[in-house]
Amino acid sequence: MRTSRAALVSVSSNSARMPHAGPVTYTTAKAAPTAFGKAPAEEFGPQGVRINTISPGAVRTALWESPESYGAELACSMGVTQEQLLAQIPAATGMTTGRLLEPSEVATAVAYLASPLAASMSGTDLLVDGGSVKTV
């Protein structure tokens, strides 16, 4: 990777920064790729390797929309329909955009971080979460 000036992009979740926003096992597991993006970026950055992380918020995927998904189980446990749950997620998670992310939005951010356009980004955790995380 050093000879090719490689770019590594790992996908985490904004839940790594908001551990109250999901199941403990999920949010804890997502803290690992977020942390991983920092130390190796420092170590290998001087050798031309860029390491970044993207942390999306709730994305419109089968995880939420499939009839046998986490989203379906969560809706059932809350006593609402899956459609009602999906409509409530943006407001409940503080997404100022008012909607779930589209998978293409996450893919575009990954492609950007991997491209030469982001040549000076290293050790970055890029939030693509509709405004959910409110820290500076």
Q: Is the dihedral of CA 72, 78, 84, 86 positive or negative?
A: negative
Contact 36, 53 (CB under 8 A): yes
Neighbours of 75 (CB within 10 A): 19
Catalytic site positions: 26
The residue among 35, 50, 37, 36 whose CA lies nearest residue 2 is 50
